[in-house]
Structure 1
Amino acid sequence: MGEKVLMKGCEAIGEAAVKAGCKCFFGYPITPQTEVSAYLSKRMPKIGRVFLQAESEVAAINMVYGAAGTGIRTMTSSSSPGISLKAEGISYIAGAELPCVIINIVRGGPGLGGIQPAQSDYFQATKGGAHGDFSMPVYAPASIQEMVDVIQDAFDVADIYRTPVMVMGDGMLGQMMEPVEFKERPAKELPEKAWAANGLNGRKAHNVINSLYLKPEELEHHNEHLQAKYAEIKKNETRYELFNCEKDCDLIMVAYGTTSRICKNVIKLAEKEGIKLGLIRPITIWPFPVEAFDKTVDNTKYGYLSVEMSCGQMVEDVRLASDGRKPVAFYGRSGGMVPNPEEILVKVRAIVGGAK
């Protein structure tokens, strides 16, 4: 076992990216993720890597496009309004099939909103995030340790499938401090980047990095290729945790990120009242873990409760995954308000009919 160090979430993201082999970081400061940039501004130059604070979020994501086109590992980081500004570039990156990692430490919205934690970027992250028919894998870690671990996974998945990958945490995960361990992991066998626009392995042929297809037949073929790739990602990269869901649950909650940790405390409180609760925790919110509902649908008496720091965005995917087999309820707070276990338990009691 390695040594654990106490780190703030945003700084741990930066160190995890360094250890995952990120060679270039392009970003622009915005609360509550500015510490990612601040940490890497000192760390990257010391080890001969590139840190560049761009003049805007639009510039930053286009720099990512250029660096990723050479085949090197590259990352950007932002928070909700900044991700919106990067949206066009993210679509271009997906269309050109370039691997990169995008960090979103979510704050309350819409608009400038506030700087408190939220999960209100769920639709943006999981329903494409920009124009066109594309998807990208999105990890939603629940602790700083898991956030550190999935950074390595994100870079690997990006390289394997030639896709942008998002790691999405709320502002609480970005700003809180927890002990973390940077684990040594065996290197994955990754495909050769024969597509890259550089002189790797003495290649003399020119590669063109592009997402423009003026002939509709060619663009349709490209979209079909992308959809086949996304089907493979769904098959191979979906991740989730089942907690206390084995059998005879009164209700199964569905929550990700910080909210899932709160829900685990709700389970303890409910147990004292004779109410048995389970938890489905999506670790990837795209692909969404439909399989978890197939495994648990017969184990819950009153169905599912989607608990979110939003106005009910994930509840749509919970309903789709449940597919009418069990009722789906929703409890959420928004605008940077964080639900507490007691108020969630009030909602649980209303669904299951009070203490047992």
Structure 2
Amino acid sequence: MKRVMMKGTEAIGEAAIKAGCRNYFGYPITPQSELTEYMARRLPEVGGSFLQAESEVAAVNMVYGAASVGRRVMTSTSSPGFSLMQEGISYIACAQLPSVFVNVVRGGPGLGDIQPSQGDYFQATKGGGHGDYRLIVLSPSTVQEAVELTMLAFELADEYRNPVLIFADGLLGQMMEPVSFPEKEFAYDNDSWALTGAKNRSPRQVTSFNIDPYGLEKMNMELQRKYFRIESQEPRWEEYNTDDADILIVAHGTVGRIVKSVVKMAREEKIAAGLFRPITLYPYPYEPLSKLSEKVSMVLTVEMSSGQMLEDVKLAVLGKTRVEFYGRMAGVVPTPEEIFSHLKNLVGRH
């Protein structure tokens, strides 16, 4: 399969096109503006539609409209822009419309900086807007995996009629790596729900509004049943050197990639470390992490945040073993050497 050198943001854009995305609405913000630029160039070449909205608020509502008529649609942004989209995402989730979002996370809070971060974890996984809803959240660690997960995102969005988020960061978005694009036939069935005109069929309605509390509760219960199915069927994760591990390091995205070097360094010094990397941040792979925690003396969570995923790690471990944390914030990327130094200090104190 032919491999080409591409920047992460542009590779995500091409993967979306390969997956059948023909509508993109967005607003430029560093460090993901190249994705917007790429879609502006490529979509007209494949008969698609690109529109630079006047704001992220406008973009998310354009996504709502395109998804309502059954189009494969995507938008992308970075942290402050994703915050502005939360109300619209809540509407889309309630209306059960398939759509794909990309957040190339940067340092915060506030306007922050333009450096890589994982500080949007709570927002992504716990529902950043109002109400009881969930996004399916995918966290790639390489540009090639970003390609594959973007294509998967459209399939999951259609299967569950739910918004899906690619949770990347500025490091992954800006790095260049060789990638290949699987040749896949894309087909999806929207005949039963899309707003295509009511000629020769009964009218349909797409809405996120129900003034009757019992009616709205019924809608919510339907959503919760769907989330239960997602949680039982869609957790994804990677294990690296976990078979004989005594210390388990948990990290996602590009930090998971960095931690592979830490595991190698530890093994060279006879420290039996292994990596557990969640690929789906929602649904979080609680069960496999719980089982692994029963076999190790310590779990170390490493993040580019203050410890947001740490809460999910503790829920998985449930006191079965010691849980420690190492994190950098505000766009500072931890090095393998500093993570390993922290690990050695923890081992020495144990």
The two structures have a TM-score, normalised by structure 1, of 0.96
Does 2:219 correspond to 1:219? no
CA contact (8 A) 1:245 1:299 kept: no
Counterpart CA distance in 1 for 2:4 and 2:241 is 30
CA contact (8 A) 2:248 2:293 kept: no
CA contact (8 A) 1:25 1:74 kept: yes
Could you list the per-position Cα deviations for residues 137-163 of structure 1 after superposition, in whole angstroms to 9, with x for gaps in the alignment?
A: 000000000000011110011001110
Q: Residue type matched to 1:286 in 2?
A: Y
Unpaired stretches in structure 1, ≥5 consecutive residues: none
**Residue 173 of structure 1 aligns to a residue in which SS?**
helix
- Report the equivalent of 1:322: 317
Counterpart CA distance in 2 for 1:318 and 1:186 is 37
Could you list the per-position Cα deviations for residues 162-186 of structure 1 after superposition, in whole angstroms to 9, with x for gaps in the alignment?
A: 1000001010000000000001235
Counterpart CA distance in 2 for 1:193 and 1:179 is 38
Does 2:347 correspond to 1:352? yes
Counterpart CA distance in 2 for 1:22 and 1:308 is 32
- Report the equivalent of 2:197: 199
CA contact (8 A) 1:101 1:165 kept: yes
Does 2:156 correspond to 1:157? yes
Counterpart CA distance in 1 for 2:202 and 2:340 is 63
CA contact (8 A) 1:280 1:292 kept: no
Q: Residue type matched to 1:344 in 2?
A: I
Cα deviation, residue 205, structure 1: 2.3
Cα deviation, residue 352, structure 1: 1.5
Cα deviation, residue 192, structure 1: 3.9
Cα deviation, residue 46, structure 1: 1.7
Unpaired stretches in structure 2, ≥5 consecutive residues: none
Cα deviation, residue 187, structure 1: 4.6
Q: Residue type matched to 1:324 in 2?
A: G
Cα deviation, residue 298, structure 1: 2.8
Counterpart CA distance in 2 for 1:219 and 1:9 is 40
**Residue 153 of structure 1 aligns to a residue in which SS?**
helix
Q: Residue type matched to 2:205 in 1?
A: V
- Report the equivalent of 2:267: 271
Match of 1:252 among 231, 248, 252: 248
CA contact (8 A) 2:142 2:254 kept: yes
Counterpart CA distance in 2 for 1:180 and 1:203 is 46
- Report the equivalent of 2:229: 232
Does 2:131 correspond to 1:132? yes
Q: Structure 1 residue runs of 4+, over 6 Å off?
A: none
- Report the equivalent of 2:77: 78
CA contact (8 A) 1:113 1:335 kept: yes
Distance 1:246 1:203, change over 3 A: farther
Could you list the per-position Cα deviations for residues 186-230 of structure 1 after superposition, in whole angstroms to 9, with x for gaps in the alignment?
A: 557x44431111138x64322121000111111111111100000
- Report the equivalent of 1:147: 146
Does 2:306 correspond to 1:311? yes
CA contact (8 A) 1:246 1:299 kept: no
**Residue 166 of structure 1 aligns to a residue in which SS?**
strand
Counterpart CA distance in 1 for 2:147 and 2:226 is 26
Counterpart CA distance in 1 for 2:249 and 2:346 is 12
Counterpart CA distance in 1 for 2:207 and 2:196 is 14
**Residue 103 of structure 1 aligns to a residue in which SS?**
strand
Counterpart CA distance in 2 for 1:198 and 1:183 is 30
**Residue 294 of structure 2 aligns to a residue in which SS?**
helix
Cα deviation, residue 295, structure 1: 2.8
- Size of the aligned set, in residue pairs, is 350
Q: Percent identity?
A: 53
Could you list the per-position Cα deviations for residues 258-294 of structure 1 after superposition, in whole angstroms to 9, with x for gaps in the alignment?
A: 1011100001111121111011100001111112223
Counterpart CA distance in 1 for 2:121 and 2:276 is 17
Cα deviation, residue 354, structure 1: 7.2
